[in-house]
Amino acid sequence: MPDTTTPPRAGRREWIGLAVLILPLLLVSMDVSVLYFTVPFISRDLAPSSTEQLWIFDIYGFVLAGFLITMGALGDRMGRRRLLMIGALGFSSASALAAYAGSAPMLIGARAILGVAGATLMPSTLALVRNMFHDDKQRATAIAVWTGVMTGGIALGPIVSGLLLEHFWWGSVFLINIPAMVLLLALAPVLLPEYRNPAAGRFDLAGAVLSIVAVLPVIWAIKEIAAHGADLTRAAAGLAGLVIAAVFVRRQRRRADPMLDLAILRRPAFAGSVAVSLLATFAMIGFAVLSTQYLQLVLGMSPLRGALWSLVPSAGVGATAPIAATLARRGVDRAKIIAVGFVVAAAGFAVLSAVPVTSGLGVWLVGSALYVAGIVVVLSTATELAVGTVPPERAGASSALMETASEFGGALGIAILGSVATAVYRARITDAAPALARETLGGAVATAGRLSPTAAADLLRSAREAFVASMHTTVWTSAAIMLLAAVVALAALRRASDHDQDLFGHGVPGSSISPPLLPRETVPPLSLRSGDSTAT
């Protein structure tokens, strides 16, 4: 007969602990975008080459994506709170190093260390949420908060950097990390439980190297192809990463104590959640680049003003994610919630297809608010479903796999949607435009500054019309992908909710599935004593 024992409910300590976990999550997500406004200042002080400037921006995301799975598995073995605190110490130290970097290579190195530290923080925060909130309804709310903070942090990064640069030097965008990390180090031992899987086995060092070497070249190839087009080197790097990934999977299947238990991917609830998260971040990140250009280069806003307006659609995130959690708590099928989220996102993209070349801020705000709300519903619900599917002792590596999929989704979105937009822009702009103006809208704006007023006005009008046409094509492409994703969610996740049997003896939250009879000690309750280093 099924185990009907009521899981323990979280109390005040756990909810305060969630607030503590928000600190590293917010900062790690902000650091993805916090350098947007710093380029002129860093260029003036450090004089980086064009290649160095690209690496200053990209190295953080590359390393973060590459180390997520490794750090998630490491946290399962050494303790998630312990790894979180080590990551906080590393993140604050690397932030100080980046703030006072005296050369471009030094800043690149500091950003790489930030990526490693960030990879220890992200899966640890989500895994600890799984450990702290055993009640399905409370966990759904906690993960909705987690998702809202993660997505909101990316939008908040440019705002924070713009405000800081109004009063301080560029290094201040890194120094703001330090007080928050110090607070985390002080509060984590008191408010956060320690949890590690005592049955995890030895850490697979060779597997960790394989996972890193597999992810890094694939992410690099996707971003390079998006920025510069395909060539033999980029294609070879991507293929090499896929081959190494196949070797990694084969190794994990053969080990008695794998760092990533691939059995969880045979469960449609988890695999489907990974897929829909990838598709959601594909659309969100892929369109964000075009959205920023529209505000600044088409509507003529300053970077700070454009960043402030871009934050407005995200204001609904705080209400949207809890609504999805409430619907799930009331028994609405999560597959339906995710499908509706994708449909709302598709509607938002459809509204954006009506954005005009001039005076389009109102239409842009409505469309952006809709698609952001829909995607947040998808991400929060899919994350909650995936985390609830995974037993607590495997939450670290599984959370890292979810986050790695999101990194790939964002990279693919930039590559594919960016390529679509570039192709349409080049096809629509006048052939009489200078070569640089035919490449990008930014190139057209730069070229116009060297022309006569009449010629500049003609060029900008043509370039802006071509860019808006490319944006219309891109949003219709995104809308079609969102509708396809809704069908995929209904097909995969409803089957998971209605018919799947949990591989690890845990029922899917909100479904009719009951776990098989297991001893209560199979998943031991957590102790909140600060000195614990295992689940007790």
Question: Quick check: is 485 in a domain?
Answer: yes
pLDDT in tens, 378-406: 888 888 777 777 666 566 666 777 777 77
Q: How far apart are CA 264 and CA 279, in angstroms?
A: 20
Place 417 in a pLDDT band, splitting at 50, 70 and 90: confident
Please state the domain count of the chain: 2
Vertex 509, ends 503 and 513: CA angle to 5°? 55
pLDDT of residue 37: 67
Q: How far apart are CA 440 and CA 449, in angstroms?
A: 15
- 274 in the same domain as 163: no
DSSP per position, 93-131 = HHHHHHHT--SHHHHHHHHHHHHHHHHHHHHHHHHHHHH
pLDDT in tens, 310-325: 777 776 666 666 677 6
Q: Hey, what are 402's tokens?
A: 């979810």
Question: Quick check: is 46 in a domain?
Answer: yes
**Nearest residue to 399 via CA among 91, 132, 76, 32:** 76
Question: Quick check: is 304 in a domain?
Answer: yes
Question: Quick check: is 237 in a domain?
Answer: no
Question: Quick check: is 383 in a domain?
Answer: yes
Q: How far apart are CA 499 and CA 420, in angstroms?
A: 39
Question: Quick check: is 326 in a domain?
Answer: yes
- 288 in the same domain as 383: yes
User: Looking at beta carbons, which pairs linking 179-185 to residues 24 or more positions away fall under 8 Å?
Assistant: 180/23, 180/24, 180/26, 180/27, 181/23, 181/24, 181/27, 181/88, 181/89, 181/91, 181/92, 181/95, 182/92, 183/20, 183/23, 184/20, 184/23, 184/24, 184/84, 184/85, 184/88, 185/85, 185/88, 185/89
- 398 in the same domain as 300: yes
pLDDT of residue 349: 94
pLDDT of residue 83: 86
pLDDT at 525 over 90: no
User: What's the mean pLDDT when you consider all of the chain?
Assistant: 77
The CA–CA distances, whole Å, from 367 to 68, 244, 349, 468 equal: 33, 41, 6, 14
Buried b (16+ CB within 10 A) or exposed e, 478-500: bbebbbebbebbbebbbebbeeb
pLDDT in tens, 111-154: 889 888 888 887 788 778 877 877 777 777 777 777 777 777 77
Q: Look at 295 and 151; give whichever has higher pLDDT.
A: 295
pLDDT in tens, 250-294: 887 777 777 776 777 777 777 788 888 888 888 887 787 788 788
Which residue type does 379 have?
Answer: L
> Which residue is associated with the tokens 């006569």?
452
For 77-81, what is the mean pLDDT? 80
- The CATH number of residue 437's host domain is 1.20.1250.20
pLDDT at 236 over 70: yes
pLDDT at 479 over 90: yes
Domain boundary among 215, 239, 259: 259
Top-confidence range, 191-200, 253-262, 272-281, 362-371: 362-371
- 28 in the same domain as 175: yes
User: Looking at beta carbons, which pairs linking 225-234 to residues 24 or more positions away fall under 8 Å?
Assistant: 225/415, 226/411, 226/414, 226/415, 226/416, 226/418, 226/419
Identify the DSSP state of 296: I
Q: How far apart are CA 191 and CA 216, in angstroms?
A: 35
- 318 in the same domain as 170: no
pLDDT of residue 391: 65
Q: How far apart are CA 318 and CA 369, in angstroms?
A: 12
pTM above 0.85, yes or no: no
| Percent of the chain at pLDDT exceeding 90 | 8
H runs (alpha helix) in 294-333: 303-311, 317-329
Q: How far apart are CA 57 and CA 67, in angstroms?
A: 17
- 268 in the same domain as 199: no
- 381 in the same domain as 292: yes
Place 532 in a pLDDT band, splitting at 50, 70 and 90: very low
- 168 in the same domain as 33: yes
pLDDT at 433 over 80: no
- 194 in the same domain as 45: yes
Domain boundary among 259, 275, 293: 259
For 76-86, what is the mean pLDDT? 83
For 479-496, what is the mean pLDDT? 82
pLDDT of residue 531: 37
pLDDT of residue 198: 67
Place 481 in a pLDDT band, splitting at 50, 70 and 90: very high
Q: How far apart are CA 324 and CA 151, in angstroms?
A: 16
Strand, coil or helix: what is 31?
Answer: coil
Q: Hey, what are 267's tokens?
A: 């469960």
- 172 in the same domain as 89: yes
For 227-245, what is the mean pLDDT? 84
pLDDT at 218 over 70: yes
For 476-493, what is the mean pLDDT? 88
- 309 in the same domain as 189: no
Question: Quick check: is 234 in a domain?
Answer: no
CA-based R_g, the chain, Å: 23
Place 59 in a pLDDT band, splitting at 50, 70 and 90: confident
Q: Tell me the residue range of the domain where 429 lies.
A: 263-509
> Are the C-beta atoms of residues 215 and 65 closer than 8 Å to each other?
yes
Q: How far apart are CA 150 and CA 154, in angstroms?
A: 7
Domain boundary among 259, 275, 302: 259
- 268 in the same domain as 194: no
Question: Quick check: is 222 in a domain?
Answer: no
